[in-house]
Copies of this chain bind each other. A is one copy, B any other.
């Protein structure tokens, strides 16, 4: 029983029967909550229903050892009190953060943005969230990103390496911590981790084949850095495809580039300065291809009649510019999905039984105006 006695206008005196002490304990906690306006916890639910916090936790997770009746009650109270589980606490206890780090060179490319979106969708199904970081093609930034992600206790990292990255120490660091590492697009064979990418070698073959069919005989290649696996594969594919079609490989037609717009302009100018100009240019990246296109347009060179142009990556702008640029579609959605799935496999399997996945997807050539000689 609880007596109320307004003995003084500024005080309230409560007279509580001794056996109500336990109630008072609950009440005092409730009052505390009122003041600080704390978030409701499992304990609060437990107090309301007069069961243990453990039972509440199990009920919320549909443990088989909890009665349906209790489960229903718990869920109802949880809803009423607007209970939101504290992710940090459960992550700490379970030793899993349910966060996955993603590192990309940049997000403002359609390829990466689409990969990210698909990673996210796939992981979301299993209750994982992703933390996206951008390296801006900088090795230093990439290292900081890795540290940040490790600090945030991510359960895994999905990454595409910066152009600059040669030193793999930081990636070894991830591996040494036993955190699943999955690379996509820009990977490294030496690291010996899971990898998802397209068949760059075959893609180069497709491009050269297409250009040969269009009647081109002097096909130049503005490639990426040879030391980066994907660009090396594109170069090898280019060289082998030339051989296959009995075209000679000429040193002056094979140029290494960082594949920015600016460098695309420069390398294209370089090609135009040759005595014996090419009749086709295959650029290993769309942005550089755009730079090349600008130079060609500026110099009044007809595309594709004088020089045909092919890019790589199928960035949306390839379809927007004039003339539209033929390019390779990398199936970004599939790459993202596979990367996520590969991570999930690691997360589910025991630490011991691990095997490497190297997933190589076929790419697709999107023929546009810049190389469509016969119909132009």
B-binding residues in A (CB < 8 A)? 37, 39, 84-89, 91-92, 97, 99, 106-110, 112-114, 116-117, 120, 124, 129-134, 136, 144, 148, 150-153, 177-178, 290, 294, 297, 316-317, 320-322
Contact = CB atoms under 8 A, between A and B. Distances in A.
Contacts of A136: 117
Contacts of A177: 39
A351 to B, nearest CB: 10
A106 B116 CA distance: 11
Contacts of A39: 177
Given A108-B113, A117-B136, A130-B131, 14 more contacts: A37-B178, A85-B151, A86-B153, A87-B151, A87-B152, A87-B153, A88-B92, A88-B97, A99-B152, A107-B108, A108-B112, A131-B131, A290-B320, A317-B317
Listed from nearest, the 3 A-B pairs whose CB atoms lie closest are A108-B113, A107-B107, A132-B132
Contacts of A178: 37
A153 B88 contact: yes
Contacts of A116: 107, 134
Contact of A321 (B87, B97, B112, B321): B321
Contact of A150 (B84, B124, B290, B322): B84
B129 A152 contact: yes
A364 B84 CA distance: 44
A88 B88 contact: yes
A257 B99 CA distance: 38
Contact of A109 (B108, B151, B294): B108
A320 B298 CA distance: 12
B113 A106 contact: yes
Contact of A86 (B84, B89, B92): B92
Contact of A322 (B86, B112, B153, B321): B321
Contacts of A89: 92
A196 to B, nearest CB: 19
A129 to B, nearest CB: 6
A134 B151 contact: no
A113 to B, nearest CB: 3
Name which of A37, A124, A129, A150 has the most chain B CB atoms within 10 A of its CB: A129
Contacts of A144: 124
A292 to B, nearest CB: 12
A317 to B, nearest CB: 5
A99 B133 CA distance: 13
25 contacts: A37-B178, A84-B151, A87-B151, A87-B152, A87-B153, A88-B97, A88-B153, A92-B92, A107-B113, A107-B132, A108-B109, A108-B114, A120-B133, A120-B134, A124-B144, A124-B148, A129-B152, A130-B131, A131-B132, A132-B132, A290-B320, A297-B322, A316-B317, A317-B320, A320-B321
A118 to B, nearest CB: 11
A130 B110 CA distance: 21
A213 to B, nearest CB: 27
Contacts of A130: 131
